[in-house]
Amino acid sequence: MIIVMKPNTSEESVKNVLGLIQQRGLETHVSTGEEVTIIGVIGDKQKICSCNLEIAEGVDKIVEVTESYKLSNRKFHPESSVIKAGSTQIGGSEIIIMSGPCAVENEEQVMETARAIKKSGAQILRGGAYKPRTSPYSFQGLEEEGLKIMKTARQETGLSVVCEVTSLAAIESAVKYVDMLQIGARNMQNFYLLKEAGKTGLPILLKRGLSATIDEWLNAAEYIMAEGNPNVVLCERGIRTFETATRNTLDISAVPVIKEKSHLPIIVDPSHATGVRSYVKPLAMSAIAAGADGLMIETHPNPAIALSDGPQSLTFPQFDDLCNDLRPIAKVMNRTF
Ligand code: PEP
Ligand code: MN
């Protein structure tokens, strides 16, 4: 941490700040310029978080030089993590595709989808049983009945399954049926939910919040990991910007930024990022080219009658075509698929 003092601050104010820091057992390094004095603080900054240094006489600003997230930080864990979800390894050399309907509607829909996506090469089946819809009047999901259907699909196809959880009750049900829990964009900063999900020990797919910075996202991952659960996979799903041509704006730069800042795997969801079926394939390809470890793609046997997110869902032939066209890109990126 660096403390920048206001121009021409009195020596007495500088001494006072140094005293506040040193009283807590931390070392200081003072650099006195012609107008501005800068104080470097060495040691665990948590020890001084109760000092209210920002309001001490003469302090202009405080600049953080290390990030507040530690467990998710690549600086403290240089090797990339590989996370196991059911029988699937995420973050290794293989590109992982999670696919399936936005919402679980019935067993036939899920079984048909599971068989089709497996044939095309997907390793994980997704399907929402608890749907956090923008309108309270939209379909809210089959809840536990939906989780049971996902488990049946897992048993019959061998695919691993991931479902979103939106409450403690949903977590308590989901742990009986799924391989991986998803925390959706709307709950990325629901810290209570993050902690409860972390306690299960199950791998967690953590979607980026609608308006979350990368720093906030990695701090959300930190909440899960601080519960003793290192199994977090990040998912970039588009953020809110001024652009209205797509549902959200896919922040493709998040992929290399996360790869630099964190050791956690990152996948990209071009379905929720765009909301438009025809944009899903080009963005899926660019995500893999940018270095993503996998994708989340919504598919439906008949998107025209989907109860949720039909306009962005791919038909099975469209999904198959996407998977085929991804293979050469995976190869260029030294990945298998
Ligand atoms: C979903 O994956 O079903 C979903 C609701 O996504 P998001 O949280 O990214 O909006
Ligand atoms: Mn959806």
Are 268 and 316 in the same domain? Answer: yes
Does the CA dihedral 88-90-92-95 come out positive or negative?
positive
* Domain membership of residue 11 as a residue range: 2-63
Query: Do 262 and 234 meet the contact criterion of CB atoms below 8 Å apart?
Result: yes
User: Is residue 75 domain-resident?
Assistant: no
Alpha-carbon gap, residue 264 to 218, rounded angstroms? 10
User: Is residue 44 domain-resident?
Assistant: yes
Are 241 and 119 in the same domain? Answer: yes
Q: How many domains does the chain fold into?
A: 2
Q: Which ligand is closest in space to the CA of residue 184?
A: 1
The residues, any chain, with a CB within 8 Å of residue 169's CB and separated by 6 or more, are none
Alpha-carbon gap, residue 100 to 187, rounded angstroms? 21
User: Is residue 155 domain-resident?
Assistant: yes
The residue from 63, 94, 113 where one domain ends is 63
Are 59 and 123 in the same domain? Answer: no
Q: Which ligand is closest in space to the CA of residue 207?
A: 1
Tokens (6 digits) for 113: 């989808």
User: Is residue 239 domain-resident?
Assistant: yes
User: Is residue 77 domain-resident?
Assistant: no
Are 41 and 134 in the same domain? Answer: no
- Residue 208 alpha carbon, nearest atom of ligand 1: 9
The residue from 33, 63, 93 where one domain ends is 63
Are 245 and 130 in the same domain? Answer: yes
pLDDT tens per residue, range 16-70: 999 999 999 998 989 998 899 999 998 887 888 778 899 999 999 999 888 889 9
Nearest CA to ligand 1 atom 4: 184
User: Is residue 138 domain-resident?
Assistant: yes
Which CATH number belongs to the domain containing residue 13 in this structure? 3.30.70.1140
Alpha-carbon gap, residue 97 to 308, rounded angstroms? 20
Residuewise pLDDT in 10s, the chain (337 residues): 899 999 999 999 999 999 999 999 998 989 998 899 999 998 887 888 778 899 999 999 999 888 889 999 999 999 999 999 999 999 999 999 999 999 999 999 999 999 999 999 999 999 999 998 999 999 999 999 999 999 999 999 999 999 999 999 999 999 999 999 999 999 999 999 999 999 999 999 999 999 999 999 999 999 999 999 999 999 999 999 999 999 999 999 999 999 999 999 999 999 999 999 999 999 999 999 999 999 999 999 999 999 999 999 999 999 999 999 999 999 999 999 9
Are 229 and 114 in the same domain? Answer: yes
pLDDT at 139: 93
Query: Do 113 and 125 meet the contact criterion of CB atoms below 8 Å apart?
Result: yes
Q: Alpha helices of the chain — where are they, by DSSP H?
A: 11-23, 107-120, 144-157, 168-174, 191-199, 214-225, 254-261, 270-274, 277-289, 316-332
Are 105 and 253 in the same domain? Answer: yes
Q: What single DSSP character describes residue 276?
A: -
Candidate from 102, 104, 125, 193 with most ligand 1 atoms within 8 A of CB, to mutate:
102
pLDDT at 67: 87
pLDDT tens per residue, range 294-336: 999 999 999 999 999 999 999 999 999 999 999 999 999 999 9
> Taking the model in full, what pTM does it have?
0.91
Nearest CA to ligand 1 atom 6: 184
Which CATH number belongs to the domain containing residue 242 in this structure? 3.20.20.70
Are 35 and 100 in the same domain? Answer: no
User: Is residue 68 domain-resident?
Assistant: no
Q: Compute the distance from residue 12 Cα to the ligand 2 centre, in Å.
A: 59
Q: Compute the distance from residue 122 Cα to the ligand 1 centre, in Å.
A: 18
Are 327 and 273 in the same domain? Answer: yes
The residue from 63, 93, 116 where one domain ends is 63
Give buried/exposed letters for 20-49 (b at 16+ CB in 10 A, else e): bbeebebebeeeeeeeebebebeeebeebe
What is the secondary structure of 101-143 as a DSSP string?
A: -SB---HHHHHHHHHHHHHHT--EEE-BSS---SSTTS----T
Does the CA dihedral 243-101-165-181 come out positive or negative?
negative
Are 279 and 327 in the same domain? Answer: yes
Show the ligand 1 pocket: residues with CB < 6 angstroms.
102, 128, 164, 184-186, 207, 237, 272
Q: Compute the distance from residue 48 Cα to the ligand 2 centre, in Å.
A: 44
User: Is residue 309 domain-resident?
Assistant: yes
Nearest CA to ligand 1 atom 5: 184
Tokens (6 digits) for 78: 């240089």
Are 191 and 266 in the same domain? Answer: yes
pLDDT at 239: 98
Q: Which ligand is closest in space to the CA of residue 128?
A: 1
Are 34 and 158 in the same domain? Answer: no
